[in-house]
């Protein structure tokens, strides 16, 4: 075939078109992938946008899927470091949701700070009284010390505290941890020479070398604090378990932990049962039925970028650092553990 000057062969034109087709197809896939990613992120954002509380996502748990009346399962897990964590966000969610008719406290915690445990207990009791909501407790693997303290928010009603067969509970008491590293530092000729406004300002210091007289004075002050907080703990237990007589109360407030069966025998727990048993009891106390109630639970919002970029891991690392800082701050604890608290309330 003869071509005029400047005319491009058909074969060459077809090859160029084929090359563009290949690149165009790849570009189309890239655009499609980006569009899908944007759609997923937007869907997640919209799902959270329509939540009444941006810090909490409600999920269906059990019973009737279409029922409007709810039983709210509020989870308190891990070491209780304060009253402003996810547990508090769940309580706020229940407070704002008029369709909640009962609360199930799902406790899996060794306890934590005195102030954090007391605040959560106070807020749950206050909410239950104002809204006339029955509170039922479901204990997980451990509900000890501050965890048991919060369980007393059930208000002393019959058949409202359930423990699983393997639950550990009790540990009713107060501890102010203290470690003395002064003798260790002496070996390296290191001395704590802090300037204070008074001799008791350095109470619980890890590095201060105290005289026997000052050490005894500090211990008396701290023991007085522990005794006062312990008295409040026993008062809370008595309010939550009014059937306990003085002799039994003295027997269960030694700091000892108990198995679920032992706790039932002492009257610290009403029944052996699981979460679904506690939900059923809450439904009953609220005057509802399995057909007219919907059990819901809550989770913390997590974006797509948290999963892809490890944001959740970074948040967990920050939480651990916060817990370490909390531990190094002198304070009293309703806590059942032999080691410093290294996990925070989830």
- The verdict on 288 and 163 lying in the same domain is yes
| Structural domain containing residue 29 | 10-50
61-64: long-range contacts at Cβ-Cβ below 8 A with a sequence spacing of 24 or more? Answer: 61/279, 61/295, 61/296, 61/297, 62/276, 62/279, 62/295, 63/279, 63/283, 63/290, 63/293, 63/294, 63/295, 64/290, 64/291, 64/292, 64/293, 64/294
Question: For 48-52, 79-83, 208-212, 228-232, which range has the lowest pLDDT when averaged over its residues?
Answer: 48-52
pLDDT more than 70, % of the chain: 73
Pick the catalytic residue from 145, 154, 280, 345.
145
- The verdict on 23 and 152 lying in the same domain is no
- The verdict on 38 and 75 lying in the same domain is no
Looking at residues 201-207, what average pLDDT do you find? Answer: 88
Please give the pLDDT value at position 254: 97
- Confidence at 127, pLDDT banded by 50, 70, 90: very high
- The verdict on 31 and 146 lying in the same domain is no
Q: Is residue 268 part of a domain?
A: yes
Asked if residue 112 lies in contact with residue 146, where contact means CB atoms within 8 angstroms, the answer is yes
Question: For 54-58, 213-217, 304-308, 341-345, which range has the lowest pLDDT when averaged over its residues?
Answer: 341-345
- Classified as helix, coil or strand, 332 is coil
Residue 320 pLDDT > 90? no
Examine the residue annotation and report whether 201 is marked as an active-site residue of this protein.
Answer: yes
- The verdict on 122 and 264 lying in the same domain is yes
- The verdict on 114 and 157 lying in the same domain is yes
Q: Is residue 191 part of a domain?
A: no
Q: How does pLDDT run across 93-111, given as a tens digit for each residue?
A: 999 999 999 999 999 999 9
Examine the residue annotation and report whether 70 is marked as an active-site residue of this protein.
Answer: no
- The verdict on 241 and 296 lying in the same domain is yes
Q: Which residue from 280, 283, 269 is spatially nearest to 147, judged by alpha carbons?
A: 269
Please give the pLDDT value at position 70: 98
Q: Could you tell me the two tokens for 152? A: 């007393």
- The verdict on 98 and 132 lying in the same domain is yes
Q: How far apart are CA 320 and CA 328, in angstroms?
A: 13
Q: What is the pTM of this model?
A: 0.77
Residue 342 pLDDT > 50? no
Q: Which residue from 148, 182, 178, 177 is spatially nearest to 266, judged by alpha carbons?
A: 148
pLDDT more than 90, % of the chain: 61
- Confidence at 5, pLDDT banded by 50, 70, 90: low
Task: Provide CB contacts within 8 A for 255, sequence distance 6+.
Answer: 171, 172, 173
CATH no. for residue 71? 3.90.226.10
DSSP state of 80: B
Pick the catalytic residue from 126, 201, 289, 320.
201
Q: How does pLDDT run across 222-233, given as a tens digit for each residue?
A: 999 999 999 999
- The verdict on 36 and 147 lying in the same domain is no
Q: Is residue 242 part of a domain?
A: yes
Q: Is residue 21 part of a domain?
A: yes
Question: What rounded mean pLDDT belongs to the chain?
Answer: 84
Asked if residue 111 lies in contact with residue 150, where contact means CB atoms within 8 angstroms, the answer is no
Q: Is residue 281 part of a domain?
A: yes
- The verdict on 31 and 61 lying in the same domain is no
- Classified as helix, coil or strand, 9 is coil
As a residue count, the chain comes to: 346
Looking at residues 52-69, what average pLDDT do you find? Answer: 90
Q: How does pLDDT run across 6-37, given as a tens digit for each residue?
A: 555 555 444 444 554 556 566 666 666 676 66
Q: Is residue 183 part of a domain?
A: no
Beta 161-163 vs 57-63: how paired, if at all?
unpaired
Please give the pLDDT value at position 302: 74
Q: How does pLDDT run across 132-150, given as a tens digit for each residue?
A: 999 999 999 999 999 999 9
- The verdict on 173 and 248 lying in the same domain is yes
Question: For 41-55, 63-77, 109-123, 252-266, which range has the lowest pLDDT when averaged over its residues?
Answer: 41-55
Q: How does pLDDT run across 146-201, given as a tens digit for each residue?
A: 999 999 999 999 999 999 999 999 999 999 988 889 889 889 889 888 899 998 99
- Confidence at 316, pLDDT banded by 50, 70, 90: low
Please give the pLDDT value at position 95: 97
Q: Is residue 316 part of a domain?
A: yes
Q: Is residue 196 part of a domain?
A: no
- The verdict on 44 and 82 lying in the same domain is no
Q: How many domains does the chain have?
A: 2
């Amino acid at each position: 075939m003869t071509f005029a000057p400047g005319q491009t062969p058909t074969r060459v034109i077809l090859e160029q078109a084929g090359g563009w087709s290949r690149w165009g197809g790849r570009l189309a896939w890239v655009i499609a992938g980006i569009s899908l990613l944007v759609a997923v992120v937007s869907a997640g954002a919209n799902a959270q946008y329509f939540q009444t509380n941006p810090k909490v996502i409600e999920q269906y748990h059990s019973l009737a899927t279409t029922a409007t009346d709810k039983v709210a399962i509020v989870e308190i897990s891990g070491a209780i470091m304060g009253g402003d964590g996810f547990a508090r966000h769940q309580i706020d969610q229940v407070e704002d949701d008029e369709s909640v008719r009962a609360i199930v406290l799902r406790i899996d915690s060794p306890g934590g700070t005195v102030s954090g445990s007391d605040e959560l207990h106070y807020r749950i009791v206050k909410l239950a009284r104002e809204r006339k909501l029955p509170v039922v407790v479901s204990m997980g693997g451990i509900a000890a010390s501050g965890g048991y303290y919060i369980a007393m928010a059930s208000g002393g009603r019959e058949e409202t505290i359930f423990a699983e067969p393997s639950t550990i509970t009790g540990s009713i008491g107060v501890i102010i941890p203290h470690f003395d590293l002064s003798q260790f530092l002496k070996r390296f000729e290191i001395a704590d020479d802090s300037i204070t406004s008074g001799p008791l300002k350095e109470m619980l210091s890890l590095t201060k070398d105290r005289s026997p007289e000052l050490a005894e004075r500090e211990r008396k002050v701290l023991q007085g604090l522990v005794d006062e907080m312990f008295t409040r703990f026993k008062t809370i237990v008595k309010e939550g378990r009014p059937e306990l007589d003085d002799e039994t109360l003295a027997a269960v407030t030694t700091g000892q932990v108990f198995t679920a069966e032992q706790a039932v025998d002492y009257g610290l727990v009403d029944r052996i049962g699981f979460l679904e048993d506690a939900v059923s009891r809450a439904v009953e106390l609220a005057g509802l039925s399995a057909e007219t109630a919907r059990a819901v639970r809550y989770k913390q919002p997590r974006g797509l970028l948290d999963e892809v970029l490890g944001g959740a891991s970074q948040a967990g690392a920050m939480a651990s650092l916060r817990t370490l800082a909390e531990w190094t701050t002198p304070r009293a604890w309703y806590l059942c553990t032999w080691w410093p608290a290294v996990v925070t309330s989830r």
